[in-house]
Amino acid sequence: MTSTVHDEPAIFSAGTRPKSTFAFGLSVKAVGYAAAGFAVSFAVLIFGGVIPGLALMAVMAVLLVPLVVAPNGRSLYETGQFAMQWFHRKHISRSTEYHAGPHSQIPGGRYRLPGLLATTTLHVGTDRHGNEFGMIHHPADHRYTVIVDCLPGGDEAVVRSEKDLYTADWGVYLADLGLASDIVGATVVVENIPATGLRLARLVEREMAAAAPGLSAEFVRQSSVRMPSGRHRTLARLSITFRATTRERQKEPEEMAAELARRLPDLYGNLAGAGVDAQPMTAAEIVATAHRSYNPSTENDFEELDIAGQPHGVAWEDAGPGRARTEWGHYRHDGATSVVWEMAAPPESVFTDTVLKPLLAPHDDLPRKRLTLIYRPYSAGDAAKKVEKQHRDALHAINSRGAKISSAEAEKRLEITSQARKEMVSGAGQLRYSALLTITAQDPAEVGNAAAVTESLAARARLRLRRAHGFQDAGFAAGLGLGVLLPDHITTSALVRRS
């Protein structure tokens, strides 16, 4: 008599968006504004009369509503301020267009990367294993970013138990990032680009036997050209951003390179537990990645040079586009059109480890697609404080509404924060995360269909996305994984944000 054991897939939860809930389910900020407005109105009512006091109270209530109403997670005040900033940028400062090259105002006539990457510099280091690595310096923030080229093993021939181990080890890896106080962010980029077939054709020519029959040789040559036709290559990379903690490292990139040379092998070596083979990207590879993203037409040129083992000769100062223009809902760069979405909300219920597969897999209607996951770890001390605070806020949200009328959202939030407390005791880390999704089309007429397909795939992945209106260029730069973390560049005032 035999028994069959069925491996059930592990179930995960995305957590909840951090927020502070006070009385009546409102945020602490909203309650504070309401209390201040009521106090002023009450004083006017006592000393100035009933009618002025009630009128001022009504005005305060009307002014409070746009702070409470927050479609897509942004208050109406925040949305209005952002719209005014876009109007100023579009029509007054005219900073939505970028021109580079000899006939531009760029110093030296170079083709520098635009926007948030304009002031960055690229440096070269060698780790203790002798591997060269490129290091992007963000001087304004005193931050450095290294990028690791990743080769995930895939899950087609992996049993369920190994998948669960890979997932668990990836969680441990992210938790360990919070143990280092100078790591401010990690970005995972998985992109699909059209396959050129050049590598396969070159491999066939190199391995072809000189005495091979003519018909067979011709068949293999033609197959090497036709097989990649219409196919895609999937590339993956991980970038880790560090904050320089000493004056020497802030001023001298060589000092930071020496520090990273010691630590980097452990960072990419530990990815093996998650089923990922990794090695640091060289400075030349980083330049090629940035340039072909802004100018997709150069992809074949870079691949041919890489196959031939020849340097491409492009400097970091010339890795940007010749011309780019950002619009409210898309981004034009060197003849290509890109659209960026940001994650408005994670999956609302539990999910398996394959939830993002619809977005990660190549799609015939999306020749160029890039999914970027951004992680910002808390330090061990801050993580414990954040978890306890979120748990207290969840309890308060339940109690403020009454146990009998508490909403399902409040109960779910309490359950998730309680679980987070238990996991924290067991050694789990705490981090903030977000996602960006970018598609690029050569023909602007294809953008509409590509956008519809993308939103359909996001629905299958149970992600709620919203188009990055008004900051398509910044979203595009952040999605490249070159060290740009959007939360560090917020332009709206903290006074008008929902929480």
DSSP of 439-454: EEESSGGGHHHHHHHH
Q: Residue 281's CB: how many other CB atoms inside 10 A?
A: 23
Round to whole Å and give the CA distance between 143 and 252: 12
- Two tokens at 430? 């705490």
Judged against a pLDDT cut of 50, whether residue 2 lies above it is answered with no
Judged against a pLDDT cut of 50, whether residue 1 lies above it is answered with no
Side-chain-side CA neighbours of 414 within 13 Å: the count stands at 14
- Two tokens at 265? 């092998």
- For 104-143, the pLDDT digits (tens) are 989 899 999 999 999 999 999 999 999 999 999 999 999 9
Among 60-69, 201-210, 235-244, name the one with the lowest average pLDDT. Answer: 201-210
Backbone angles phi, psi at 28, to 5 degrees: -60, -40
pTM: 0.86
Can you give the residue ranges of every domain in the chain? Answer: 98-195+230-378+429-490
Q: Are 367 and 239 in contact (CB under 8 A)?
A: no
Q: Residue 255's CB: how many other CB atoms inside 10 A?
A: 15
Round to whole Å and give the CA distance between 373 and 384: 23
Instruction: Output the pLDDT for position 400.
Output: 59
Round to whole Å and give the CA distance between 197 and 317: 30
Round to whole Å and give the CA distance between 287 and 315: 7
Greatest CA separation for the chain: 106
Q: Are 31 and 400 in contact (CB under 8 A)?
A: no
- Two tokens at 58? 């009504």
Sequence-distant (≥ 6) Cβ neighbours of residue 236 within 8 angstroms: 149, 150, 151, 152, 188, 189, 190, 191, 276
Mean pLDDT score, 24-45: 79
Backbone angles phi, psi at 208, to 5 degrees: -70, 130
Mean pLDDT score, 394-416: 59
Mean pLDDT score, 334-356: 88
Does an H or E element contain 52, and which?
Answer: helix 50-68
Judged against a pLDDT cut of 90, whether residue 24 lies above it is answered with no
Judged against a pLDDT cut of 50, whether residue 277 lies above it is answered with yes
Orientation angle between helical segments 408-425 and 380-401, nearest 10 degrees: 150
Does an H or E element contain 395, and which?
Answer: helix 380-401
Mean pLDDT score, 447-461: 92
Q: Hunting for tokens 């605070």 — which residue is that?
A: 389
Mean pLDDT score, 155-178: 84
Top mean pLDDT of 257-266, 417-426, 488-497 is at 257-266
Sequence-distant (≥ 6) Cβ neighbours of residue 350 within 8 angstroms: 11, 12, 13
Instruction: Output the pLDDT for position 404.
Output: 46
Top mean pLDDT of 149-163, 404-418, 424-438 is at 149-163
